[in-house]
Structure 1
Amino acid sequence: MRKLAFIAAALGLAATPAAAKPPKLLVVISIDQLSGDLFDEYRPHFTGGLARLAGGTAFRNAYQSHATTQTCPGHATLLTGGRPARTGIIANNWYNFAAPRADKQVYCAEDETAPGTTSDKYKVSPVHLKMPVLGELMKRRWPLSRSVAVAGKDRSAVMMGGHTPDQRWYWADGSFVTDLPVGPPPRSVALANSAAKQAIATARAPLQPPPLCAAKAQPLVIPTVKYRIGDGRFDRAAGDEDAFHDSPEFDAATLALAASLVQELGLGKGRATDLLAVSLSATDYVGHKFGPGGQEMCLQLLSVDRDLGGFFGMLDRAGIDYAVALSADHGGQDAPERLRLNGVAATRISNALSKAAVGHTIARQLGLPKSPLKTYGGAIYVDGSLPAETRQKIVAAALPRYRADRQVAAAFTKAELIATSMPTGSPVNWTLIQRARASFDPARSGDITVLLKPNINPVHEPDDSVATHGSPYDYDRRVPLLFWRKGMKPVLRNDAVETVDLMPTLAGLIRLPLTPGSVDGKCLKTVPGVRCPSR
């Protein structure tokens, strides 16, 4: 082998990723709401960082295989290798009637036992995440390994950074902040916040759309929405922070901070492999506010492609041996008003399915003083302060009402989901109850899980969010999963994989052994340089 290596070196042959040593830096990127549909549509038009990643091993059919396709559970799958049923992160929010406060709703990235908190004003914490993330396992095996998370949302940084990151920074109230006792913050953070403050204070002229985006500039009228939709170009007034983080400039700021931290902390230059997790949130904000089908999303994706190219260029110039994995926490579907213009029979949810409508009907039927139901998305919770016998009657009365509704595809009780085995095999073929089972935690999930039919938007009357996600259907489940390292040959794969496969695949790349059965995902041996354990 030494002789062969010597001959290869003498001939000037570059080592392939399969023969290379583990990289010194893993960069794991989530683009919030980057659906497989968007990736397929824009892939031919990328010329920057996304083009580079698409030129590696690109799985275009990766699945957030569970039913509750939201930000928190989706990010938790990426670096734990576990589905929501195992991570415990079953949604962005849920109800805990035993919580020691009046507000019984719990945010996924908070500690509800902290005095004086609510689900809106909370203490950021990873306490609800039941699994370690890859960075934690790396630090356990190689104490000199470092783990850094940077994100536009606190829950994204928490779910990718896990319990013991060295640095965790996310946007809140106009600046990048942390919940960790890091001492004096890195100089990079002060510089990033100063630049962001200046950007917010400066008015922005409209972006000039290229022909690709201009062709999508179709104004969309939704009576309850007071801003322009479909042909926006991200101009904004000075001081408009909301418009800043609903624009491509927000992702640029997040990547700038990540790049500065790489340089200041010397990531990828130490004796052990480091991990940098980055979650870019603007695609999600743009998708919600404008829908993914208009000029706004086109401008956003071309911008993030360019900005990622600049970020990777910085890593190249720094001489860092790095590998990149990129995926998304969920996909997203366009506004039904635009879908209908394109021939899709889409609509919005009826008021008949609101918690008030169903809850008050049940209260009258059973002689209760008020509605006994709390809801979050499709999770229906029965008031935990009521006697068990009363709660059973409420479930028995509510279940047929949900199942009879013309907009409901299925409704499952806790008992039905507990009795359902965890799904196996290709996520493409999972039934609705199997997808719901992958999202189910008996201590946190609702008493009834309601799944709407396809193409029904759960926002009845939008005001600042015309499109959304969260369904068990492929427009929300299917996302890209991309692996890249210098020297990797381009391979576009059509086989179905899961986002939980990302973590064990990276473990195979850096030769980190995992305890058998500790994750739901599988190591993808088709990725060059990855050594999967024998089964």
Structure 2
Amino acid sequence: MKKSNFVLFVFILLINTKLTAQQHYSENPKLVVGIVIDQMRYDYLTRFDKKYGSEGFKRLLNNGFSLENAHYNYIPTYTAVGHTSIFTGTTPSNHGIIGNHWYDKYEKLSIYCVDDRKYETVGNNGNGGKKSPYRLITTSVADQLRLAQNMKGKSIGIAIKDRSAILPVGHTANAAYWFDGGKEGDWISSTYYMNSLPKWVKDFNKSKKADEYLSKPWNTLYDIKTYTESIEDNNDFEAPFKGQEKPVFPYDIPKLRKNNNNYSILKAIPAGNSFTTDFAKAAIIGENLGQSEHTDFLSISYSSTDYVGHQFGVASKETEDTYLRLDKDLASLFKFLDEKVGKGNYTLFLTADHAATQVPSYLKANKIPGHYIEPVKFMNFLKEKTKKHFNSDRLIEDFSNFQIFLNQEKIESLNLNSDEVANVIADASITYKGIYKAVTAKTMRSTTFTKGILNSLQNGYNQKFSGDVMLIPTPSTIIYSRKGTTHGSGYSYDTHVPIIFYGKGINKGSSKKKYEIIDIAPTISNLLNIEFPNGNTGKIIEEVIK
């Protein structure tokens, strides 16, 4: 080859490589939207399928990629832990968020996952904004996107719950906003992010949309007689609002708000999801999301589904109505994204932070095992055991999240062996009704469990922060009231959640293969051509990406 032709060949090759790289980068969506529905079981997709419209959940299912066998792979399945694991691509063993609240064995007190006294509230004079993500010790996919773009592009988190707004977007977010109920009724933030609210947030708060939603009763969207996917409205397994005799439709919200912490009742009704959607739309406009040459990131968490689920349970008409209304809210959001960002310009994923068990008292009424553990009785039982073995009933410092924290100072003062005390407590716990497995921290550190529920327990164990004895209850055994339900276990009713990808760069289809919640972050990272979150242990879901 002549020298001149060789030079020309190299020049053309370099130009093509540059153009290919630019084209590859330009293929990134203008906006990534991560939607988390608090306490959504996978079977809500199938159970209410006939009543969903065509533009909400079904739009994602018909035009996106659905994982039908997706699970959480750790214990405990709580809100803060779920949101963190979705966006960091790893489990509590690495990211450090081991609960909503947990016992801090160094400070000797119970702490809340996003409390931070170094910062002040932005938006009102209350204490609801003294928050930050500082207890999160890894990056999120939103952090990695910001880093990959040299801190260009915006990252914003939105949720009624503070933890659900803060943790998904990590440390580098431009903003996180959450709802301050009670007497306030405002969307607020923290000085961690800003010194004053943007004008669009102030304008939204001034619009008094919260009052508008609270001025209407909550009745069923459709004729209640058609709600055949749920049990009778008047039953013994649901908790009424304060000031109400029975938990039955219709709910006189204007009247009930006074006895239910005023604006906070908005969190506990479907209107809270509509309110969140309104605020998310205002954020997209106010922040010009999806309008620049860089990729923006928006996290939206729908919290009201969790409040409704806790109060009324999995099988209630209230839960059914909440999801039928949420379906319409999602349809409205998707249409808005089409108009403001453009069809084909955004990528979206939808999942849940955990699911929930059927109300145990309802299961028992149908001859299915279900059980309740009373913490005080359980602790008295263990104290009797330690008194018998070690002549002291002061060896347990705290019991929370099915973890036992030992009083190491007392153990040392009595010249006892900490591992021996933990073993005795574990052996005693397993004899207690409702406790299925008990494992010491030493076992967690010295043994590798590769599958099953003990693997999930190990994935949730953090050597620095977790307790000295970890407990697993029997299925559908909870620490909760007899009315309503909760979550937190490693059983499928708590772990099986929807994961649906949709939009730019996403294939159409579904999969019955088992995937884990931690696989979302690396999949989105790969789609965006960015580095994974720095604690990532998930894998790319190859069949999702075009």
TM-score by length of structure 1 reads: 0.85
Alignment partner, residue 35 of structure 2: 29
Partner of 1:277, secondary structure, is strand
- The 3 A distance-change label for structure 1 pair 69 and 319 is closer
Q: Is the contact made by 1:46 and 1:302 (CA closer than 8 Å) also made in structure 2?
A: yes
Partner of 1:484, secondary structure, is strand
- The 3 A distance-change label for structure 1 pair 121 and 187 is closer
Deviation at 1:25, TM superposition (A): 0.2
Between the aligned partners of 1:114 and 1:356, the Cα distance in structure 2 is 39
Between the aligned partners of 1:500 and 1:23, the Cα distance in structure 2 is 22
Between the aligned partners of 1:369 and 1:404, the Cα distance in structure 2 is 18
Deviation at 1:270, TM superposition (A): 0.7
Between the aligned partners of 2:133 and 2:544, the Cα distance in structure 1 is 31
* Equivalent residue for 2:189, pick from 166, 178, 195: 178
Alignment partner, residue 187 of structure 1: 199
Is 1:82 the equivalent of 2:82? no
Alignment partner, residue 278 of structure 1: 300
* Equivalent residue for 2:269, pick from 236, 247, 257: 247
Question: Which deviates further from its counterpart, 406-415 or 214-223?
Answer: 214-223
* Equivalent residue for 1:108, pick from 93, 105, 113: 113
Deviation at 1:89, TM superposition (A): 1.1
Is 1:166 the equivalent of 2:164? no
Q: Is the contact made by 2:29 and 2:504 (CA closer than 8 Å) also made in structure 1?
A: no
Q: Is the contact made by 1:363 and 1:372 (CA closer than 8 Å) also made in structure 2?
A: no
Question: Which deviates further from its counterpart, 390-399 or 131-140?
Answer: 390-399
Between the aligned partners of 2:157 and 2:522, the Cα distance in structure 1 is 19
Alignment partner, residue 54 of structure 1: 61
- The 3 A distance-change label for structure 1 pair 37 and 343 is farther
For residues 98-497 of structure 1, the aligned pairs below 5 Å read 98-99=106-107, 104-111=109-116, 123-142=130-149, 143-173=151-181, 174-179=185-190, 180-193=192-205, 194-199=207-212, 202-204=215-217, 206-210=219-223, 211-213=225-227, 216-218=230-232, 219-221=234-236, 231-238=248-255, 239=257, 240-320=262-342, 321-349=345-373, 354-359=378-383, 361-363=385-387, 366-368=390-392, 370=394, 372-388=396-412, 389-390=415-416, 391-392=418-419, 394-421=421-448, 423=450, 430-459=451-480, 461-462=481-482, 466-485=484-503, 490-497=508-515
Q: Is the contact made by 1:32 and 1:281 (CA closer than 8 Å) also made in structure 2?
A: yes
Question: Which deviates further from its counterpart, 356-365 or 313-322?
Answer: 356-365
Partner of 2:99, secondary structure, is coil
- The 3 A distance-change label for structure 1 pair 111 and 363 is farther
- The 3 A distance-change label for structure 1 pair 94 and 184 is closer
Between the aligned partners of 1:479 and 1:297, the Cα distance in structure 2 is 16
- The 3 A distance-change label for structure 1 pair 396 and 486 is closer
Q: Return 5+ residue gaps in structure 1 as ranges.
A: 1-17, 424-429, 530-535
Q: RMSD in angstroms over aligned alpha carbons?
A: 2.9
Deviation at 1:262, TM superposition (A): 0.5
Q: Is the contact made by 1:97 and 1:385 (CA closer than 8 Å) also made in structure 2?
A: no
Partner of 2:74, secondary structure, is coil
Partner of 2:253, secondary structure, is coil
Q: Is the contact made by 2:221 and 2:321 (CA closer than 8 Å) also made in structure 1?
A: no
Question: Which deviates further from its counterpart, 340-349 or 45-54?
Answer: 340-349
Deviation at 1:438, TM superposition (A): 0.3
Deviation at 1:422, TM superposition (A): 6.5
Between the aligned partners of 1:411 and 1:121, the Cα distance in structure 2 is 37
Partner of 1:446, secondary structure, is coil
Between the aligned partners of 2:136 and 2:449, the Cα distance in structure 1 is 19
Identity %: 23
Deviation at 1:123, TM superposition (A): 3.5
Question: Which deviates further from its counterpart, 103-112 or 165-174?
Answer: 103-112
Between the aligned partners of 1:113 and 1:21, the Cα distance in structure 2 is 40
- The 3 A distance-change label for structure 1 pair 339 and 212 is farther
Q: Is the contact made by 1:216 and 1:231 (CA closer than 8 Å) also made in structure 2?
A: no
Partner of 2:111, secondary structure, is strand
- The aligned length equals 495
Q: Is the contact made by 1:192 and 1:253 (CA closer than 8 Å) also made in structure 2?
A: no
Q: Is the contact made by 2:30 and 2:295 (CA closer than 8 Å) also made in structure 1?
A: yes
Between the aligned partners of 2:373 and 2:168, the Cα distance in structure 1 is 32
Q: Is the contact made by 1:378 and 1:450 (CA closer than 8 Å) also made in structure 2?
A: yes
What amino acid is the match of 1:162?
G
What amino acid is the match of 1:338?
Y
Q: Is the contact made by 1:360 and 1:370 (CA closer than 8 Å) also made in structure 2?
A: no
Q: Return 5+ residue gaps in structure 2 as ranges.
A: 1-23, 121-126
TM-score by length of structure 2 reads: 0.83
